[in-house]
Amino acid sequence: MKTTTKQHAIAAIATEALIVPVFEGHKEQRFGASDLFDAGEVSGKPLEFTLVHHPPGVEAQRVLLAGAGKSEKFDAGELRKLTGAAVRHLKSKSVKNIALALEGGWATGDYVCAAVEGAILGEFEPDRYKTGDDKKTVDSFTVAVESGGGELQRAAERGRVIAEAQNFTRALVNEPANRMTPRNIAEAAQKMASENRLECEVLDQPQMEKMGMGALLGVSQGSAEPPALVVIRYRPEKPQGRAHLGLVGKGVTFDTGGISIKPAEGMEKMKYDMAGGASMIGAMQALAQLKPSIPVTAFVPCVENMPGSRAQRPGDIVTAMSGKTIEVINTDAEGRLILADALTYARKQGCTHLVDAATLTGAIVVALGHLNVGLFANNDAMRDRVLAAAKSEGERMWPMPLEDDYKTEYLKSPFADLPNVGGRWGGAITAAMFLKEFAEETPWVHLDIAGTAWLDDGKPFLAKGPSGVSVRTLVRLATNWKD
């Protein structure tokens, strides 16, 4: 889909469909809408859509009156959703060329960016492997403004870069595990990196053995697929300050649970257990184009968690790269094992600040449902940075506790430094506590995206399937970084 901004009088925009936001309580008089308002057929409530053909006074073939809610509550996040839902609505009716009327005070960079994001995110479908020829697509999306110059054009460009990165992440996550093995992730990352002039290095099993990544290798040993540790480096031309951001993402291409095998029901969804890693790869694609002023390195440990004959067993003790020993109580708690070594490696590579994203625990879904990412931090300033970025991107994240008592009460092993599980209660917290042992003193935030990386039902503005959550927050975190 091609996206642009255009300076144009609303009446003169020739398009198949023009989206016009209408607000609750503001009776729209144009486009023959006043009768619809009077009849109560249009109220302006959020995401209520009314399609009018050949409305008077405009060139557009159709106007989609798009409910925007109360104007005092309307912000860029609401516009992103409105645009996404409107594009999906029109696409379902085979409309291919769409414009959005952004009038008056709404025609600012933030709104233009959000509108373009909404359109591109809304257009995505997880239907790559459907072979029918009836797939609907949108060819063009234009943000029409009455005035405004290059600044709005740049904002539209930024929106395109970010949304395409998020869709790239969604596409990676959507791939089934037979087509997205650790080596396939590495190939996809290398292709993205070379197209975007980033450096990409893939560490293989012998290299990981040499570095002593016993926690990661223990998970991988049950699969015939070899592991890969993908490292993607962005370096600014003129770095500012001393920060070096490390982005660490869980890349379990399929999680059977290993010997502690999962029940069959719903297991097919465990192809999305690499969503954290895919978020980091997507974020790097956007950063290569938006060029933040700090160095950013992504680390994606990729493994398949299988119960093969060489699989690790409950009770096995592995030695992580940091030197800590871990008793593997449950082989299904594999994400924290691979992240432990990736976090250690990221620190050794000189990262001064770390964020990890992982579909880490079912417990976070119990705690927060499918609406909020669970956010854990060992450092208040770092937590606030990520929360601020998430807020401005409309990605809901909720701070969770991370207190030492969770370690002393729950993370005890009589045989090793740490067990890989902390028992029945507070499972998302004890998992985060385990990771904290490997982030050590480096300011670090952990995002548990198990409940939010996959939409079972879809939303009016987003197809069901992979959501690409955390990509926008990570991109904003890096591009806003000052000091």
Q: Which residues participate in catalysis according to the annotation?
A: 262, 336
Sorted by sequence, the CB contacts under 8 Å of residue 129 that are 6+ apart come out as 176
Query: Does residue 467 belong to the site contacting ligand BES (CB under 6 A)?
Result: no
330 binds, among ligand BES, Zn ion, none (CB under 5 to 8 A by kind): ligand BES
Q: Minimal distance in Å, beta carbon 453 to ligand BES?
A: 8
Rounded Cα gap, residues 383 and 379, in angstroms: 6
Tell me the sheet residues that pair with 3: 141
Binding part of the chain for ligand BES, among 294-302, 355-363, 371-379, 468-476 by CB under 6 A, reads: 355-363
Query: Does residue 427 belong to the site contacting ligand BES (CB under 6 A)?
Result: yes
User: Which residue of 117, 123, 164, 334 would you call a contact of ligand BES, by CB under 6 A?
Assistant: 334
Q: From residue 310 to residue 349, what is the string marking binding to Zn ion with x (rule CB under 5 A)? A: ----------------------x-xx--------------
Residues 90-149 that bind ligand BES (CB under 6 A): none
427 binds, among ligand BES, Zn ion, none (CB under 5 to 8 A by kind): ligand BES
Query: Does residue 332 belong to the site contacting ligand BES (CB under 6 A)?
Result: yes
- According to DSSP, the β-strands at 245-249 and 199-203 are unpaired
Q: Which helix (H) or strand (E) holds 191?
A: helix 182-195
Tell me the sheet residues that pair with 14: none
Query: Does residue 273 belong to the site contacting Zn ion (CB under 5 A)?
Result: yes
Query: Does residue 259 belong to the site contacting ligand BES (CB under 6 A)?
Result: no
CA-CA distances (angstroms) from residue 207 to 202, 219, 229, 230, 319? 10, 16, 10, 12, 16
Query: Does residue 307 belong to the site contacting ligand BES (CB under 6 A)?
Result: no
Q: Minimal distance in Å, beta carbon 262 to Zn ion?
A: 7
Closest C-alpha among 133, 479, 131 to residue 292: 479
Q: Which is nearer to Zn ion, 289 or 330 (CB)?
A: 330
Sorted by sequence, the CB contacts under 8 Å of residue 38 that are 6+ apart come out as none
**366, two tokens:** 């119990």
User: Which residue type is seen at 90?
Assistant: L
Q: From residue 240 to residue 259, what is the string marking binding to Zn ion with x (rule CB under 5 A)? A: ------------x--x----
Q: Minimal distance in Å, beta carbon 192 to ligand BES?
A: 24
Query: Does residue 335 belong to the site contacting ligand BES (CB under 6 A)?
Result: yes
Size of residue set near ligand BES by CB under 6 A = 15
Closest C-alpha among 160, 146, 152 to residue 13: 146
What DSSP designation does 417 have? S
Q: From residue 363 to residue 392, what is the string marking binding to ligand BES with x (rule CB under 6 A)? A: x-----------------------------
Q: Spell out a b/e string for 305-327, using b for 16 or more CB atoms within 10 Å of the CB, else e.
A: bbbeeebbeeebbbbbbbebbbb
Q: Which is nearer to ligand BES, 360 or 478 (CB)?
A: 360
**281, two tokens:** 């790869």
320 binds, among ligand BES, Zn ion, none (CB under 5 to 8 A by kind): none
CA-CA distances (angstroms) from residue 157 to 112, 377, 407? 9, 33, 46
CA-CA distances (angstroms) from residue 1 to 97, 112, 199, 241, 465? 9, 16, 28, 38, 20
Tell me the sheet residues that pair with 140: 2, 97
Q: Which is nearer to ligand BES, 160 or 336 (CB)?
A: 336
Provide the H-helix boundaries in 223-333: 275-290
Q: Which is nearer to ligand BES, 276 or 282 (CB)?
A: 276
Query: Does residue 330 belong to the site contacting ligand BES (CB under 6 A)?
Result: yes
Q: Which is nearer to Zn ion, 117 or 332 (CB)?
A: 332
Instruction: Calculate Rg over the CA atoms of the chain.
Output: 24
Q: Which is nearer to ligand BES, 3 or 223 (CB)?
A: 223
Query: Does residue 273 belong to the site contacting ligand BES (CB under 6 A)?
Result: yes
Residue whose Cβ sits closest to ligand BES:
362
Q: Minimal distance in Å, beta carbon 421 to ligand BES?
A: 4
9 neighbors 145 (Cβ within 8 angstroms): no
Rounded Cα gap, residues 92 and 198, in angstroms: 37
Query: Does residue 450 belong to the site contacting ligand BES (CB under 6 A)?
Result: yes
Query: Does residue 275 belong to the site contacting ligand BES (CB under 6 A)?
Result: no
Q: Which is nearer to ligand BES, 255 or 356 (CB)?
A: 255
Q: Is 17 helix (H, G, I), strand (E, B) or coil?
A: strand
27 neighbors 36 (Cβ within 8 angstroms): no
116 binds, among Zn ion, ligand BES, none (CB under 5 to 8 A by kind): none
Q: Is 333 helix (H, G, I), strand (E, B) or coil?
A: coil
Burial class for 134, CB neighbours closer than 10 Å (0-12, 13-18, 19+): exposed
Q: Minimal distance in Å, beta carbon 389 to ligand BES?
A: 23
Q: Minimal distance in Å, beta carbon 337 to ligand BES?
A: 9
Find tokens 């398949």 and name the residue: 304
Give residues in contact with ligand BES (CB under 6 A): 255, 273, 330, 332-335, 359-363, 421, 427, 450
